[in-house]
Amino acid sequence: MRFRWIFLILVVGLHYAKAQDPIPEDNDAELWRVLYSKLNRLLDETNSLSQLMQEMREKQSHQGHEISNIFKHIKRERKCPAAQVVEKRVTAQPARESAASSSVTASPPRHEWTVVLRRQDGSENFQRNWDDYRNGFGNPEGEFFLGLERLHTITTYEGAHELLVTLRDWEYEERYARYDHFQIGSESEEYALKELGEYSGTAGDALAYHKGMKFSTLDHSNSGMCPRNYGGGWWFNQCVDSNLNSVYRTQGECFEMPKILWSTWKGFNYSMKFVEMKIRPRT
């Protein structure tokens, strides 16, 4: 097979030589010298091209291995397990906390705080239905949700209230977001987030995007697939800038959804270690 190729190359080279460098027909030696010269040049270029292609294949193979390793690393990094929870049914009771014990030192002592929500270790299941979020659940000394009906009653009939959101990352840095007029609607209004007032704080305003939104749960959605995709119950707005009732992850950096999210501080790829929402009368 190789000789056939060489013969073909010789014939092509001969025709090429005659076309490019007219030589008398009787000068065979000169003709073959020119032919071999051009043939050798062609073979040298072919060998160089083959070597270049081999190098490119080796580089491509090496890059393929590197890309594969990168994706394996990313896949490992993306895995952020959810905390294991033990299902239990407990009707939540309001948790009280004095202002002096607040982790946000910028808050002057005035009145007791009422804890609305606390996430700290993943021990409580927040993937719950509408009735549970309406009535409340959890342990007031641990993970806890006060209940939408109580929250509506307090913020509607007991005077204006301010809201304080405390956030802690996995490096134990804390930030906060304060809203000076917090109110939610009744069940007939789907417990909509009616008022927030003015924002102040260090965590960024990740609730403003949700203002005016109706509350949604897995079994009672006012926002399409948001509860299923982002977890828990929340004032989803196609879908989130924040969600403190989502799945508790066991590490911070996390590309998976759902997770406990406050995007204006850590972005969308971080799950908080500790979050707390609490309210108190505004004076």
Q: Following CA atoms 139, 250, 210, 202 in sequence, which dihedral angle do they give, to the nearest 10 degrees?
A: 100
The overall average pLDDT reported for the chain is: 82
Confidence category of residue 225, pLDDT binned at 50, 70, 90: very high
Angle at which helix 2-20 crosses helix 28-78, to 10 degrees, equals 120
- How far are the Cα atoms of 161, 169, 221, 225 from residue 186, in angstroms, in the given order? 16, 33, 16, 23
pLDDT of residue 36: 64
- How far are the Cα atoms of 33, 77, 86, 227, 279 from residue 234, in angstroms, in the given order? 87, 27, 22, 8, 17
pLDDT of residue 48: 75
Q: Return d(Cα 239, Cα 225) in angstroms, integer.
A: 9
Non-local (6+) Cβ contacts of 58 within 8 A are none
Cβ neighbourhood burial of 98 (10 Å; 0-12, 13-18, 19+): exposed
Question: Which architecture characterizes domain 114-281 according to CATH?
Answer: Alpha-Beta Complex (3.90)
- Read off the pLDDT of each residue in 130-155 and give the average, rounded to a whole number: 98
pLDDT of residue 9: 59
* Among 187, 199, 218, residue whose Cα is nearest residue 262: 199
Residue 166: count other Cβ atoms within 10 Å of its Cβ: 21
Q: Own/partner pairs for 222-227, CB < 8 Å, 24+ apart?
A: 222/190
Is the pLDDT assigned to residue 3 strictly greater than 60?
no
Q: Do the beta carbons of residue 190 and residue 215 sit within 8 Å? A: yes
pLDDT of residue 165: 99
pLDDT higher at 118 or 100: 118
* Among 235, 167, 159, residue whose Cα is nearest residue 201: 167
pLDDT higher at 266 or 53: 266
Query: Which pLDDT tens digit goes with each residue over 167-200?
Result: 999 999 999 999 999 999 999 999 999 999 999 9
Q: Return d(Cα 243, Cα 226) in angstroms, integer.
A: 11
Is the pLDDT assigned to residue 2 strictly greater than 60?
no
Confidence category of residue 65, pLDDT binned at 50, 70, 90: low
Taking CA 280 as the corner, what is the angle to CA 180 and CA 97, rounded to the nearest 5 degrees? 135
- Domain limits of the chain? 45-75, 114-281
